Structure 1
């Protein structure tokens, strides 16, 4: 993966494939390495852009506190630098909240979104507590055990674990802490009705902690396609990679066909 200077920082990114651009956004600590199956399988039908959020993986640490608007601006300027005019977005877990923020902030630039195990708010005690614990562990002596735990929970094999852990441990604990903390207080649920771009919502039917958030997104988004994945929990990019990729590919093809057939297409 090469590096690029944008918005005053250095980002580690990977761009592959041809066709409409799909940008993947990872959650705190876990890096773009979590999208390994998407990078390898979807690049045959579209252009895949993955990157490590500043302060994560091999991207440079951030002197500015990490917030969703800052991450969205990094993405916007990254696309400018790569001369990509429009893109679809795909966010996993907390990365889905950044997708929502981007669609609200730049509706002409980001033309659709895919939400994987995502949320528009943190309003259940269990998820709030889990994020609070992770935030507190982003400090000396606790950071590597946290990286181990999250890498293991997202791994479908020893090789995946090794890749995730190697990348996660390179992150900057203070920036990762800021990402966790901002996600805990972020809430755009009352603005979801403003999102007019087409959306795809993927969630595991065994991901009980996130069932409430899936329902919120399903009923508040005006143009959403909902696809539950049977017998799966939260970690869909790695543990249900083939199912996710097939659904993403089919949905993207539908969006392209609609644009082609529309008078403005």
Structure 2
């Protein structure tokens, strides 16, 4: 994985494929490895960019505390480094808040946003309790290994995948990971969302009951938004066995509707596969794997 020296730090990143650029943002403790299925499938006709946030995976410890504004600037400078003028941005879970922050801070750099199981604030008792627990465990060295094991296992479909996620998570720095969790507890961009003029795609599992209130909140606050619910799925949508095929086909088709230049590749996919169509606000069954 190559390294980009940007914004006073070093970011390990990976680029796969050619075409419309899309950059992915992972949640705390996990790394860019969580987007392995997106890299494998979407890079067939898109330029997929993944990176490890400061102090996560193979990106080294950051003396500057991790904040969403800082990571948004990292993303902008990473795009500069890669000589990419505009890109789509996709955030998973807490990474969705960073995606929104980046679109708000640098609206001219993003063609659109994709928010997977995301929230713009942590305002309910259950989510705040979970974040407090994870923040506490990430700040205590004795409980940190247990947290890494639980999150890696929750995003895996096999022992091999769990080992891969665990291996990458193990390289992270406990201080920056703790900062990422802690910052998410009080961050909110909800009142600023009406400023976003870029289109946004919301993707949620219909069994992710704890996040249904956040899907409704984003649907109400974002000016140009579509919602797709993935049937019989919970929170971990991008990850193996959860719903990567449904997610990837939906992203590909939605990008084609937003960006006419990508329509030819989208049309080819629609001829080959029965699909999920954005904007219908309905439940969709997971597609067979490619």
Q: TM-score, normalised by structure 2?
A: 0.88
Cα deviation, residue 4, structure 1: 1.6
| 1:207 matched residue in structure 2 | 208
Cα deviation, residue 157, structure 1: 1.8
Q: Which has the higher contact order (CA 8 A, sep 6+)?
A: 1
Cα deviation, residue 82, structure 1: 1.0
What do the CA deviations read for 1:123-146 (whole angstroms, capped 9, x no partner)? 010100100010111121111110
Please give the alpha-carbon distance, in whole angstroms, between the structure 1 residues aligned to 2:143 and 2:52.
22
From 236, 242, 252, give the equivalent of 2:245. 242
Please give the alpha-carbon distance, in whole angstroms, between the structure 2 residues aligned to 1:89 and 1:159.
28
Q: TM-score, normalised by structure 1?
A: 0.96
CA contact (8 A) 1:154 1:161 kept: yes
- Tell me the secondary structure at the aligned position of residue 152 of structure 2: helix
Cα deviation, residue 16, structure 1: 1.1
| 2:254 matched residue in structure 1 | 251
Cα RMSD (Å) of the superposition? 1.1
Please tell me whether residue 149 in structure 1 is matched to residue 150 in structure 2: yes
Unpaired stretches in structure 2, ≥5 consecutive residues: 264-290
What do the CA deviations read for 1:197-217 (whole angstroms, capped 9, x no partner)? 011100000001101000001
Unpaired stretches in structure 1, ≥5 consecutive residues: 261-265
Runs of 4+ in 1 over 4 A off after TM superposition: none
CA contact (8 A) 1:205 1:231 kept: yes
Cα deviation, residue 178, structure 1: 0.4
The structure-2 alpha-carbon separation of the partners of 1:44 and 1:259, relative to structure 1 and needing over 3 Å to count, comes to closer
The correspondence of residues 222-241 of structure 1 with structure 2, limited to 5 A, is 222-238=223-239, 239-241=242-244
Please give the alpha-carbon distance, in whole angstroms, between the structure 1 residues aligned to 2:77 and 2:156.
31
Please give the alpha-carbon distance, in whole angstroms, between the structure 1 residues aligned to 2:262 and 2:150.
43
- Tell me the secondary structure at the aligned position of residue 163 of structure 1: helix
Cα deviation, residue 258, structure 1: 7.6
Please give the alpha-carbon distance, in whole angstroms, between the structure 2 residues aligned to 1:258 and 1:215.
31
